[in-house]
Amino acid sequence: MNLRKLLALWALFAGVWRWGRGNPAALLLALAGLGGWYGYEALYVRPQMAYLGLPQATRWADPMTWTRVFRNHGYLAGYSELRGDPLWVIYALSAPPADAPHLKRLNRFVTDGRSLTRIGHDDYDKSGYDRGHLAPNHAISVLYGRAGQRDTFLMTNIVPQTAALNERVWERLEEVELDRLAPRLGKLWVVTGPVFEGGTERLKSAFRVEVPDACYKIYAAQGPDGAPRFLAVVVPQTVRGNEPLDRFVVTVDEVERRTGFDFFPGLDPKLEPTVEGEVDPVFWQVGEWAAVAGRYGDRKGK
């Protein structure tokens, strides 16, 4: 456990101590319950929702890489209160069931009451940016139902994206992962988030929200030999939207360097140079889907 997490846990226990110091029995009960809850979340539930561990900041002393982990229906989010954005989101996909529900898209995004920044739907109005889902509305609703869909509309799942990125390239990637990759591979893990480089830009409509320079996705699956396989993409905000998707393919090492996170801390160090430092387009059949068009074409105003 790094220093940041220790400090946060200490602050939580200190609060409980102040609350219950006049009643030792209640204090012991509260501390036991708090410890049990934290152990259940950190040691059991969250690891099951991630592949090879939760992302770990490699620059732990940098507050801009600090995250609070929020568990939702169908996905985990590592949220930055300082940036007003999730820095990573993890979800798992499988082949959609034949009788999967097709739920109507929600009209508004929701403030996440667990966050301190309290970003709301209206904070993006007239900002020039779309509210870009990281855990996707359609895939999560198909696999996890209405509760999952509602959770994808939490603002702690949203980053600012240009229309060309959100409505075209990002949509195409979401369709590829659900319709092509997950059915072929059986289970597909996705880690996704923003990339911040250069100067700092904030939404003109809400200074609490920082605008990323690009967004990434990392796909993870097991190969026929049981070894992990990865494919990463980084898509800049400046895309036109009709580029072939293989133009954005990079190594996992590059995404880690540009974001400051170790995304798979449980990976065998002997495998890292190969699986994180190289691209395997054959396993991922990149050539078969690089030029796929989006289901919704050039729709506007999402």
Q: What is the pLDDT of residues 218-242, one digit of tens each?
A: 999 999 999 999 999 999 999 999 9
pLDDT surpassing 50 at residue 273: yes
Q: What is the mean pLDDT of residues 10-17?
A: 56
pLDDT for the residue numbered 301: 35
pLDDT for the residue numbered 21: 60
pLDDT for the residue numbered 198: 83
Minimum mean pLDDT range among 43-47, 183-187, 193-197: 43-47
pLDDT for the residue numbered 105: 94
For 300, list phi and psi in degrees, rounded to 5.
-120, 155
pLDDT digits over 97-137, tens only? 988 878 999 999 999 999 999 999 999 999 999 999 999 99
The verdict on pTM exceeding 0.85 is yes
pLDDT for the residue numbered 76: 98
Please report which confidence band the pLDDT of residue 294 belongs to, taking 50, 70 and 90 as the band edges.
Answer: confident
Q: What is the mean pLDDT of residues 246-272?
A: 97
pLDDT for the residue numbered 30: 53
pLDDT surpassing 90 at residue 34: no
